[in-house]
Amino acid sequence: AQSVAQPEDQVNVAEGNPLTVKCTYSVSGNPYLFWYVQYPNRGLQFLLKYITGDNLVKGSYGFEAEFNKSQTSFHLKKPSALVSDSALYFCAVSFLKGDMRFGAGTRLTVKP
Amino acid sequence: NAGVTQTPKFQVLKTGQSMTLQCAQDMNHEYMSWYRQDPGMGLRLIHYSVGAGITDQGEVPNGYNVSRSTTEDFPLRLLSAAPSQTSVYFCASSYGGASSYNEQFFGPGTRLTVL
């Protein structure tokens, strides 16, 4: 089955330090991978996506993600975390028109 | 543009009652979807549509019906509410086109409690 997994429920980092939120995928064929962020009591907001091409994808708010085919991973990264980055982050995969599946989410907490 | 709108924001139902969650978008997006969000389970796809008159089932379709008579609207119907349907429901839409893998735009959500 086409799916993504987020192995960490919670990630804690100090402000100014680099952050990584992990995602692995299981897809037959070419994966189309996404990252979304959810702030409290809000809907999800798109951060970035990988369709094809460069393995390093840059997105909104200084986030980037690295697609690694051999490790079937699509980890979200940011060089220097901000307190305002604290939120719930979701990895997602799309494999059919209109059909997108999400991971369970990772709660990122950035401490001052 | 209002984007994706959902009504109501909050709803409390009794077991066995029926209701319709409304979703509308003004971006002329072909694709629309309904998700439910439960703690520790992320978002799970209920139903989706790739255009007016076309709907399909997602991961957890049981107990829910949808229809898509216009491009703008995609209502979700709960036929006979159960406590297991207590959740936060999100509607989303995206542009279709030649590239079918476009980012989704989400509504603000409906928090549903079934007693």
Q: pLDDT per residue over B69-108, tens digit each?
A: 999 999 999 999 999 999 999 999 998 765 567 889 999 9
Predicted local distance difference test score (pLDDT) of residue B99: 58
Using DSSP bridges, classify how beta strands A32-38 and A44-50 pair: parallel, antiparallel or unpaired. antiparallel
Residues of chain A with pLDDT under 70: none
Give the nearest chain B residue to A9 (CA atoms).
B40
Q: What is the pLDDT of residue A3?
A: 87
Contacts of A101 in chain B (CB under 8 A): 45, 59
How many other C-beta atoms lie within 10 A of the C-beta of residue B52? Answer: 16
Cα angle, residue B38 at apex, residues B90 and B96 outer, rounded to 5°? 35
Query: Which of A3, A38, A63, A99 to probe by mutation at the B interface, max B CB count within 10 Å?
Result: A99
